[in-house]
Amino acid sequence: MRRFSRLLNLQTPRLDDRHLRDFVRTFLVRRDQFLAVAEAEGTPLYVFDRSGLVDKARRFRQAFSEVLPDFRAYYAVKSNSYPQIGQTLLGEGFGLDVSSGLELQLALGLNADDIIFSGPGKSPDELRLAAHHADRVTVLIDSFAELEKLEAVAAECNIVMRAGVRLTTEDSGIWRKFGIPLARLDEFLGRAGGCGHVDLSGLQFHLSWNLDPSAQVSFIERLGAVMRRLEPQHRKHIRFLDIGGGFWPEEGEWLQAEATSLGQIRSILWEKPAGRRKHYFRAARPIRDFAGRIAEALDRHLPGDMRPTICMEPGRWLCHDAMHILLTVADRKSSDVVITDGGTNAVGWERFESDYFPVINLTRPGLDEHDCLVSGSLCTPHDLWGYSFFGDDIKEGDVLLVPDQGAYTYSLRQQFIKPLPACAELPPDGAERTTGRQSRESMTR
């Protein structure tokens, strides 16, 4: 009962209808571009918006560069591994953050010259690949055992490997799998000092799903207290501090009723949602707020003799709206049930049972939302794109847009029942369309 009481008191705000219609309108303005790409390339289709990505990249860098004199940004490849995204961000002055040997090979193939290699459980072969490109790669060590492995691999290659160490941000729960406890940092630095082939020169921590910077600011305060107690010879070796990513896009988190506190209670009680066109959201702070508060916390809590390069690893914030999905209605089973030609294997998980994104009918455009079960063509009831659509009507052959599917979708896509979509590039306004299409065969390798 106490848990129910707490959930009842956690009211999730409704998503404002006017704001939602304004959002849909921004895509209807570009309707002809999307329809032209769909006609040329077919559906289902990933659509890469390069100009939108460039705009986000420049806004992110400007926000932090204005308040941090020595700042470096790395794109978290795991959030969307489409090569053109990484290539575009390299052109905007970003480095790449990878978390596996597979992603490291991708970054090297893109000719990235500043790569951070993070993630737990790195294999000797993955560490060896990093060591063979020591001039381009910094390894973020995840444990005491990994320090020993990296020392052995670097000695085998007769090089000195540039490295940092990841710090655990929680003392309990599943996030303990990452990094070393903050309380053991002094011990770790001492052990690293005895390694002749590892240059430990930085610290990293990461907090996910940050709608505001309070969690990051809080950990910086904890870190500052520990840094003040370190031996001066240890502190002077810290040349970079990597604050990770986890910045939530400024649109906030848009939710179906089931994902709210009341929705969870109704699910437990086997009650159906009150209305499918009621959408909810959790607000997120602008990126400038993150930059200002993080910079202030660093200035306040880091010891005066520490002026490290500050690194960030944004992923979701950058690529969230850099990719969209186009579908075609393959079967209208009734006025409120349609089947599309693409399944949610394109996003890799049952996303739209909890997350809300408007489904926009580009063929019959309109700003009114209608109840309709918009499903994919996979043989599973969880293959769902949404419970409604925006438009005047919906019929077989209509082209639908599911916007802002850039983060943790393409990278999670799976070969399940149906082929994966190809990928094409959305041309900028007034420009001729250029395609970044990949064949379905190459997408499944």
Closest CA to 50 of 22, 103, 106, 90: 90
154 belongs to a structural domain: yes
pLDDT band at residue 5, thresholds of 50, 70 and 90? Answer: low
Q: Tell me, what's the pLDDT at 272?
A: 62
DSSP assignments along 228-270, one per residue? HHS-HHHHTT--EEE----BPPTT-EEE-GGGSHHHHHHHHTT
Cβ–Cβ < 8 Å for 172, 219: no
Angle in degrees, CA 362, 366, 368, rounded to 5: 130
Q: What proportions of the chain, in percent to the nearest 5, are helix, strand and coil? A: 40, 20, 40
Average pLDDT over residues 426-431: 68
- Tell me the pairing of strands 360-361 and 399-402: antiparallel
- At residue 351, what is the residue type? R
Whether residue 162 sits in one domain with residue 297: yes
pTM: 0.92
Residue 150 has pLDDT above 80, yes or no: yes
Whether residue 74 sits in one domain with residue 219: yes
Q: Tell me, what's the pLDDT at 231?
A: 81
77 belongs to a structural domain: yes
Tell me which residue has tokens 């699910």.
267
Q: Tell me, what's the pLDDT at 334?
A: 96
Cβ–Cβ < 8 Å for 371, 277: yes
Q: Which residues contact 233 (CB under 8 A, 6 or more apart)?
A: none
Whether residue 117 sits in one domain with residue 19: no
Q: Tell me, what's the pLDDT at 440?
A: 35
Whether residue 235 sits in one domain with residue 186: yes
Residue 439 has pLDDT above 90, yes or no: no
pLDDT tens column, 336-362:
999 999 999 999 999 999 999 999 999
pLDDT mean across residues, the chain? 91
At 360, which CATH number? 2.40.37.10
Whether residue 94 sits in one domain with residue 40: no
65 belongs to a structural domain: yes
261 belongs to a structural domain: no
Q: Tell me, what's the pLDDT at 6?
A: 58
Whether residue 6 sits in one domain with residue 99: no
Residue 251 has pLDDT above 60, yes or no: yes
256 belongs to a structural domain: no
Whether residue 431 sits in one domain with residue 350: yes
Q: Tell me, what's the pLDDT at 233?
A: 78
269 belongs to a structural domain: no
pLDDT band at residue 268, thresholds of 50, 70 and 90? Answer: low
Q: Tell me, what's the pLDDT at 358?
A: 98
Q: Tell me, what's the pLDDT at 276?
A: 66
At 115, which CATH number? 3.20.20.10
pLDDT band at residue 443, thresholds of 50, 70 and 90? Answer: very low
272 belongs to a structural domain: no
Whether residue 291 sits in one domain with residue 161: yes
- Calpha distance 389→402 (Å, rounded): 10
Q: Tell me, what's the pLDDT at 124?
A: 97
Whether residue 110 sits in one domain with residue 44: no
Whether residue 101 sits in one domain with residue 203: yes
Whether residue 328 sits in one domain with residue 310: no
pLDDT tens column, 215-250:
999 999 999 999 999 888 788 889 999 999 999 999
Lowest mean pLDDT among 8-17, 276-285, 418-427: 8-17
Q: Tell me, what's the pLDDT at 442?
A: 35
Whether residue 329 sits in one domain with residue 194: no
Neighbours of 158 (CB within 10 A): 8
Q: Tell me, what's the pLDDT at 4?
A: 53
Number of domains in the chain: 2
Check residues 12 and 338 and name the one with the higher pLDDT: 338
pLDDT band at residue 12, thresholds of 50, 70 and 90? Answer: confident
Q: Tell me, what's the pLDDT at 235?
A: 85
Domain that holds residue 121: 51-250+285-318
pLDDT band at residue 176, thresholds of 50, 70 and 90? Answer: very high
pLDDT tens column, 75-85:
999 999 999 99
Q: Which residues contact 378 (CB under 8 A, 6 or more apart)?
A: 343, 344, 345, 416, 417, 418
pLDDT tens column, 269-328:
555 655 567 899 999 999 999 999 999 999 999 998 889 999 999 999 999 999 999 999
365 belongs to a structural domain: yes
- Of the candidates 302, 318, 334, which is a domain's last residue? 318
Q: Tell me, what's the pLDDT at 341?
A: 97
Q: Where are the alpha helices (DSSP H) in 254-330?
A: 261-268, 287-301, 316-319
- At residue 316, what is the residue type? R
Residue 431 has pLDDT above 60, yes or no: no
